[in-house]
């Protein structure tokens, strides 16, 4: 089964941080490619663990994925927005 996911990648200092938006998994790497590779590896490991515990379907449903025999539904990613907030520093 193939699940569509959205990967958000930001750079913080020397590190790239990759996040699977719908799944709420995060990883990092020294390059953009390494961060993405590490994220996909973490997802694979976590899904294998959840499957062995019998919790994978429940987790996917909590994330907005519906995977029964008659219907498949996925969360719809609608965008990112950069904005500003006021902060008073001491």
pLDDT in tens, 2-57: 889 999 999 999 999 999 999 999 999 999 999 999 999 999 999 999 999 999 99
Q: Is the pLDDT of residue 68 over 80?
A: no
Q: What is the DSSP string of 37-86?
A: HHHHHHHHHHHHHHHHHT-HHHHHHHTT-EE-SS-EE-------------
Is 78 part of a structural domain of the chain?
no
Token reading at 16: 């790239």
Q: Distance (Å, rounded) from C-alpha 15 to C-alpha 35?
A: 8
Is 1 part of a structural domain of the chain?
no
User: Residue 70's pLDDT is what?
Assistant: 67
Confidence of residue 71 (pLDDT cuts 50, 70, 90): confident
Is 11 part of a structural domain of the chain?
yes
Q: Which residue has the higher pLDDT, 47 or 68?
A: 47
Report yes or no: 63 and 74 within 8 Å, Cβ to Cβ.
no
Is 44 part of a structural domain of the chain?
yes
Is 53 part of a structural domain of the chain?
yes
Is 80 part of a structural domain of the chain?
no
Q: Distance (Å, rounded) from C-alpha 81 to C-alpha 3?
A: 24
Q: Is the pTM of this model over 0.85?
A: no
* Number of domain units in the chain: 1
Domain of residue 48: give its range.
Answer: 7-73
């Amino acid at each position: 089964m193939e699940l569509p996911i959205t990967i958000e990648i930001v750079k913080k200092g020397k590190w790239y941080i990759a996040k699977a938006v719908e799944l709420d998994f995060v990883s990092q790497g020294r390059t953009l490619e390494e961060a993405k590779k590490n994220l996909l590896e973490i997802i694979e490991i976590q899904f294998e663990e959840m499957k062995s515990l019998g919790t994978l379907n429940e987790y996917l449903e909590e994330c907005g994925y519906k995977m029964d025999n008659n219907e498949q539904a996925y969360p719809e990613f609608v965008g990112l927005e950069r904005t500003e907030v006021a902060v008073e520093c001491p």
